[in-house]
């Protein structure tokens, strides 16, 4: 997608997404056979419900139909929330990952798997799991030390409510 089209679409869609109290995470236009696919990824502090995606999809479709932002020709519109394994790239992504296990690729080439305990403007407070029965340790990482990060999916972690019961 050209930068001009991307900027135009973002300018057109950002207010529609914000009106639903959502964050516009990504806009992507790709080819699927003869048609183009416009993917709009949205998120919020509380996640995104399917009904909200459907409602936003109708609003976006109506707006795009009333403009020439997608040009001539057919396209398919997909509105969704980000997957669980999406990269953490924005400050708000780290905030939303608080309490979750994350895999960090460090700027020095190392990797670290740790639980995000807190986030501020400079970096992350982490809990690094203990190895072979050792207790977890606290660690502080500055954002400029992080080359990439993703939330790790945990299948066997008990929910805090379950632990309290």
What pLDDT is recorded for position 4? 79
Residue 42 has pLDDT above 90, yes or no: yes
Give CA separation, 94 vs 21, 90, 123, 150, in Å: 19, 7, 9, 9
**In which band, very low, low, confident or very high, does the pLDDT at 14 lie, cut at 50, 70 and 90?**
very high
- The helices-and-strands tally (H runs, E runs) of the chain is 4, 8
What pLDDT is recorded for position 162? 44
Contact in structure between 57 and 80 (CB atoms under 8 Å): no
Nearest to 151 by CA among 96, 106, 110: 96
Task: Kindly state the helix (H) or strand (E) to which residue 134 belongs, with its residue range.
Answer: none
Which DSSP string corresponds to 94-112? Answer: HHHTTTSEEEEEETTS-EE
Q: Which residue has the higher pLDDT, 82 or 143?
A: 143
- Predicted structure pTM score: 0.70
Q: What's the CA gap between 143 and 45, in Å, rounded?
A: 21
Contact in structure between 94 and 119 (CB atoms under 8 Å): yes
């Amino acid at each position: 997608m050209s930068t001009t089209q991307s900027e135009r679409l973002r300018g057109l869609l950002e207010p529609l997404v914000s009106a639903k109290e959502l964050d516009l995470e990504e806009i992507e236009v790709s080819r699927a056979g003869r048609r183009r696919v416009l993917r709009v990824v949205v998120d919020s502090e509380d996640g995104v419900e399917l009904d909200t995606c459907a409602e936003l999809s109708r609003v976006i479709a109506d707006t795009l139909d009333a403009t020439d932002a997608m040009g001539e020709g057919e396209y398919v519109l997909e509105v969704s929330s980000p997957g669980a394994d999406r990269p953490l790239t924005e400050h708000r992504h780290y905030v939303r990952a608080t309490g979750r296990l994350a895999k960090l690729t460090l700027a020095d080439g190392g990797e670290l798997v740790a639980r995000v305990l807190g986030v501020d403007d400079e970096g992350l407070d982490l809990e690094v799991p203990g190895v072979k029965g050792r207790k977890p340790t606290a660690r502080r990482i500055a954002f400029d030390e992080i080359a990439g990060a993703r939330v790790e999916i945990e299948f066997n972690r008990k929910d805090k409510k379950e632990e309290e019961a």
